Structure 1
Amino acid sequence: MTVAVYLPLLLALVLAWLAPRIAERGGPGPAARGLTAIAVAAAASSTWSLAMLALTMLDDLPPLAALDDHPTLELPEPVPGLVALVAGLALLLGGVRLLIELRRRLVTHRQLREAGTAKDGLVVADWSTPLAVAVPGRPGRAGHLLVTTGMLRLLDADERRVVFAHEQAHLAHRHGRLVAATAAAAALNPLLVPVRETVAYLVERWADEDAAAAVDDRDLTAQAVARAALATVGSGSAATLGINGGAALQRVRALTEPAPTPRRRRLIGPALLGGGFLTTVTAATVEFVALVRAWL
């Protein structure tokens, strides 16, 4: 097998380097969606590459192992045994991390849903901890907003409008799916952790921009974001899809500037990377199929 089987892992490094730079300018919506799609492609490609490398260990098992000493057969040499073993271990660890991530999210969502019964899409929990979060719904059901009395006491009426608009944006655009998809991708391939963090930041920026448009006041939105963030410093209450989550200082700074304009040109690089993942994994798969045919 040639270098093609390793390229998806190397391209994941390029994507991880590129992701934070994409988040620095332009509208957050297209960037969040584009990076999520490419992160999923990167995780799938690198996982399949690891699987192909690990499967080359099969030539050391009977009956294929007996053919190594056959006087008339010259089977193609796959990859060194150590490389195949490391790939197998990486594949196993990725699967374990993915299961842990899925369980963590399921437990968190169950706990949030148990906070109360939603009325008109809203649950007000009598908790002192300041928290406002969009709770995704089960399949076939709409989600709802969860706001604590601690958060409501912290904000005035106008700032509460910002909070509700922010959380409604999370539900309307199904940001939970984008965050969950990139978290799963990073679990399978830890090289994609910067992409996961970037998408988590971008969906918060996206919701901030929607809230600013809804209340028609960027300064008020920045004030609400800053106050919510300061109230939760050190409390451990920040939620994945809450107004108090995700690099608050950068978000406040962005809200003090004019609303960003979409710049789809910045997604050209990631799109080319996506094509690179598809091309390299296809080439590696063709080589692997040829190898299997030679073995059989």
Structure 2
Amino acid sequence: MIGLVYLPLVLPLLLVPAARRATAARRPEAAARALTAAALLAAACSSACLGMLAATLLDDLPALERHEDRAAVLGRVLPEPVPGWLALAAVLLLAWFAVRLAREAWRRDRAAAVLHGAGRPRAGLLVAAWAQARAVAVPPHRGRDGHILVTTGLLELLDAQEQAVVYAHEQAHLRRGHHRVAALAAAAAAINPLLRPVPAAVDVLIERSADEDAARDVGDRILVAHTIGKVALGDETAARDDGGLGFTGSATIRRVTALLRPPSGRVLPLLALAAAGLAVAATGLALVEFVELARAWMPPH
């Protein structure tokens, strides 16, 4: 098979620098969705190419071996598919990626179940008696609507205005369906481990998007930045935990900086979209050749 079938397997590497640049996008919501779409396309193309490589193992079927022998008697040489060890490696990789995807889906389903098990919300809000300062947009799960979960530790830390910022931020996550965007980005990385940096970048972008919505709702960007910093400083575990409002050290700095000095450039993951487009084109050409190869190996009726 032509070398184009291998290209989509490594093109996701181009999304790594693109993901890092995308976190500084002026429009974080659009950047998050574009980066996620590019990652999904790249992951789908790499899986499709692995599938084509794996399918060449079928030439060892008895019917196809007899067809090859008859062709050799007639002086015809069938086009040679990829080496058997390479096809077997593709099968093993596809199986591994399937396990990774199932594990990621189970992890997210389990996390949502645990959060919903914390209690029944009232008017879309649940206050949990936890000492940690946390606020979470709990996504819909198995027929139950999404809601906001805040801890007593957070309420004791913040005043009324700052609490309003938190509610606006988490409501933005629910309204925009950020749990789906994050889940799709994580799924792409599960299918192709080269995309591992993408979910972290998408997480930063959706947090920034919710910050922007909160700033519009409360009408005070400085208040939102102050609230983010206050929660990060008020919870010692925030620097080590990706949960809740996403108050990791680097994420907090990026979010506060973006609120106080909004990015002026139109930074979108164009490199990621270009890489995904190239992966689609290469996969399409590889598929055309694979179909021609399959026809040549198809035994006559």
Same fold (TM over 0.5): yes
| Aligned equivalent of 1:31 | 31
**Which residue matches 2:18?**
18
1:249 lines up with 2:253 in the alignment: yes
| Structure 1 residue 262, shift from structure 2 partner | 7.6
Q: CA deviation at 1:267?
A: 4.4
For residue 150 of structure 2, give the secondary structure of its aligned residue in structure 1. Answer: strand
SS of the equivalent of 2:196 reads helix
The answer for the alignment partner of 1:166 in structure 2 is 169
Q: Which of residues 113, 120, 125 is equivalent to 1:122?
A: 125
User: Pairwise mapping of residues 1-296 of structure 1 onto structure 2 (< 5 A)?
Assistant: 1-69=1-69, 70-72=72-74, 73-138=76-141, 142-234=145-237, 238-239=242-243, 242=245, 244=247, 247-257=251-261, 259-260=262-263, 263=266, 266-296=268-298
Contact residue 14 and residue 271 of structure 2 kept, 8 A? no
Counterpart contact for 2:112–2:141, Cα < 8 Å = no
Contact 1:109-1:135 at 8 Å conserved across structures: yes
TM-score by length of 2: 0.90
Stretch of structure 1 that moved more, 26-35 or 229-238: 229-238
1:103-141 deviation line (CA, Å, top 9, x unaligned): 000000000011111111101111122210001113666
SS class of match (1:147): strand
**Residue 199 of structure 1: SS of its match in structure 2?**
helix
Name the SS of the counterpart of 1:181 in structure 2: helix
Aligned to 1:266, the other structure's residue is in SS state: coil
Q: Which moved more, 1:91-100 or 1:134-143?
A: 134-143
User: CA-to-partner distance for each residue in 1:234-288, whole Å, 9 max, x for gaps?
Assistant: 366542x63535711221222221x34682x734433333321221111111111
User: Does structure 1 conserve the Cα–Cα contact (< 8 Å) formed by 2:19 and 2:269?
Assistant: no
Q: What SS is found at the alignment partner of 1:134?
A: strand
User: How much does 1:142 deviate?
Assistant: 3.8
Deviates more, 1:23-32 or 1:115-124: 23-32
Deviation track 1:48-76 (CA, whole Å, cap 9, x = no partner) reads: 11111111111123232344444334121
- Quickly say closer, same or farther: Cα 1:233–1:47, change in 2 above 3 A: farther
- Given that 1:30 and 1:262 are in contact with CA atoms closer than 8 Å, whether structure 2 keeps it comes out as no
Mapped to 1, the partners of 2:105 and 2:229 lie a distance apart of 31
More displaced stretch, 269-278 vs 179-188: 269-278
Q: CA contact under 8 A between 1:134 and 1:145: conserved in structure 2? A: yes
Q: Which amino acid aligns with 1:276?
A: L
Distance (Å, rounded) in 1 between the aligned partners of 2:246 and 2:47: 34
Task: Answer whether contact 2:222 2:260 (CA < 8 A) is retained.
Answer: yes
The runs of 5 or more residues in structure 1 that have no matched partner are: none
When the two structures are aligned, how many residues end up with a matched partner? 293
- Check conservation: 2:68, 2:297, Cα contact below 8 A: no
Give, as a single letter, the amino acid of the residue that structure 2 aligns with 1:249: I
CA distance in 2, matches of 1:255, 1:219: 7
Stretch deviating more after TM superposition (105-114 or 120-129): 120-129
Contact 1:225 1:248 in 2 (8 A): yes
Deviations 1:191-221 (A, max 9, x none): 1111111111100111111112211222221
Q: Tell me, what secondary structure is at the counterpart of 2:18?
A: helix
Q: Aligned pair in 2 of structure 1 residues 93, 243: CA closer, same or farther (>3 Å)?
A: closer
1:8 Cα shift?
1.1
Q: Which moved more, 1:186-195 or 1:82-91?
A: 82-91
Percentage of matched positions with identical amino acids: 47
